[in-house]
Amino acid sequence: VGGVTTDDIGVIAAYRKQVTAIRMLLRSQGLSGVRVGSVHDYQGQEEKVIFISTVVSRRHWLHDANASHLLSSPSRFNVAITRAKALLCIVGNPHMLQEDECWREMLQYCAARGCYTGVSTPLIEVEDVPQSKEAVLDQIAELALLGAAEGVAHDMETNTSSEMEWRAML
């Protein structure tokens, strides 16, 4: 598997202000090649590695019927999780995400396959072992870049080509 450059990485954020803040932070760190956008920006686009920021600060936003973000719509959820060619990393609060049916199923899917990293919830039991930033980054690298994707790719029930290796890590 080839290496990953900043041009191979994308970030999908739930809100425009998050998009702007993440983009500015990455640029300040010399990572301007990382593409950052909303779920609408990623319609028809793919990257080798996708990070999805599902971070919301108010629980009622998750259930807002008028919301147009990726946490309130199965179709936006589908677009967001299918933009990664090799590795999908989802960042968010599992206690809030499990309130949505699509995200709850994603959390349970990842936990059942050993690619969930985070706290336990009533629906997800994991060993609460604090991990360093380096340990999490090592796990991401192992999942995506060292050929370990075969086990999960075989288990996933998607209509992807057999050549694609999929990984999801929460």
Instruction: Please check the confidence at residue 154 and state whether its pLDDT lies above 50.
Output: no
Neighbours of 13 (CB within 10 A): 26
Instruction: Please check the confidence at residue 143 and state whether its pLDDT lies above 80.
Output: no
Instruction: State pLDDT tens for residues 28-79.
Output: 999 999 999 999 999 899 999 999 998 875 555 555 544 556 777 889 999 9
Task: Give the separation between CA 147 and CA 136, rounded to whole angstroms.
Answer: 17
pLDDT at 57: 57
117 vs 126, higher pLDDT: 117
CA distance readout (Å), 102 to 11, 137, 161: 20, 26, 23
Look-up: residue for tokens 């080509």? 161
